[in-house]
Amino acid sequence: MDSENNIKNLGKRAIKQVAESINKLLPFVDDNFEKVVKTCMESEGRLVISGIGKSALIGQKLVATLNSTGTPAIFLHAADAIHGDLGMVQPKDLVMLISKSGNSPEIKVLLPYLKAMGNTTIAMTGNLDGFLAKNSDLLLNTTVSRESCPNNLAPTTSTAAQLIMGDALAVTLMELKGFGKADFAKYHPGGALGKKLYLKVEDILDREKSPVVAPNASWKEVILEISAKRLGAAVVMDGTEILGIITDGDIRRMLEKFDNLDALKALDIMSENPKQVGVDKLAYEAFQIMENNNITQLVVVEGKASKFVGLIHIHDILKEGIF
């Protein structure tokens, strides 16, 4: 059996070979790439992606990426296309065919039919002399020198190149279309990613559970208010003015600092200028404020006058499953 060092070296060599091939793709982001991007931008139809074998799997991933970043796309397996599914392709659709060699039998059968239907075809291939490259309208070059497979057979480096070139296309289209966070949120409403993009402080704030004490409240009253509202803190308010915040940590420091507690008031214990967040801000932004300032509570305010409306705890955000 090979030694552990040899196993690690084999793995590192495979990654290094793929990385070197990916870097060599940079010159292929050329005039041809620009033509593909512009054609996609001007298209009134969808981008249909097709392929066979491992290239088909890459195509499915690219379709998912394109759809989630604002470019309508569908996947059509090349074998299914020539056995009845070609009806999926509409007149205004662009069709991208992915193939390392560009000479797969299914591709050779499919491409002429697409041309006859009048659809613009895009070749993503690593063989510029192949049937696909020579007979398509547009070209994305994904040539690699060799596969990381020791036999130079299993699609490894070539599929990585296809994936990277496809992602480059998707990201370029995304930026040119001005596809921002708000758009991204519309297409990702579920799960942690969706919540990170649309869940606001308002959505997790309990306005009825707002721990507040007056400046002259005794330390016992402060502790009772913190315990009652279960947010680990209380906000010190003078009318509508926010004076400070008292956290569990402030209580512990008070016990360590003072011997005579009877005369202590909230004003003596509080930390001034507590960190605040607008009720309309994303919960993710609130979490970042807490994380950057090493705190677990945030005062929530509303409107231009920064009216106090409540307090949120870091646990309120974590229980939503954003992280």
Asked, for residue 192, whether it belongs to a domain, the answer is: no
d(CA 173, CA 274): 43
> Residues 275-296: what's their mean pLDDT?
93
Asked, for residue 111, whether it belongs to a domain, the answer is: yes
Amino acid, single-letter form, for residue 16: K
Same domain membership, residue 234 and residue 163: no
Same domain membership, residue 282 and residue 157: no
Same domain membership, residue 259 and residue 140: no
Asked, for residue 266, whether it belongs to a domain, the answer is: yes
Asked, for residue 187, whether it belongs to a domain, the answer is: no
Same domain membership, residue 255 and residue 144: no
Which tens digit of pLDDT belongs to each residue from 287-312?
999 999 999 999 999 998 899 999 99
Same domain membership, residue 164 and residue 219: no
What's the CATH number where 287 sits? 3.10.580.10
> Is pLDDT of 59 > 90?
yes
Same domain membership, residue 293 and residue 258: yes
Which tens digit of pLDDT belongs to each residue from 134-148?
999 999 999 999 998
| Six-digit token string for 313 | 């705890």
The range of the structural domain enclosing residue 250 comes to 201-318
Same domain membership, residue 53 and residue 17: yes
Q: In sequence order, which residues have a C-beta less than 8 Å from that of residue 199 and are 6 or more positions away?
A: 282, 283, 284, 320, 322
Give the CA count within 13 Å in the CB-facing half-sphere of 306.
9
pLDDT for residue 262: 79
What's the CATH number where 88 sits? 3.40.50.10490
Which tens digit of pLDDT belongs to each residue from 184-210?
767 766 666 666 777 899 999 999 889
Same domain membership, residue 217 and residue 171: no
Confidence of residue 153 (pLDDT cuts 50, 70, 90): confident
> Is pLDDT of 34 > 80?
yes
Tell me how many domains the chain contains. 2
Percent of the chain past pLDDT 90, that is, above it, reads 75
Q: What does pLDDT average to over the chain?
A: 91
> Is pLDDT of 181 > 90?
no
77 labeled binding residue: yes
Model pTM greater than 0.85? no
Same domain membership, residue 299 and residue 151: no
Same domain membership, residue 174 and residue 211: no
Same domain membership, residue 173 and residue 53: yes
Asked, for residue 323, whether it belongs to a domain, the answer is: no
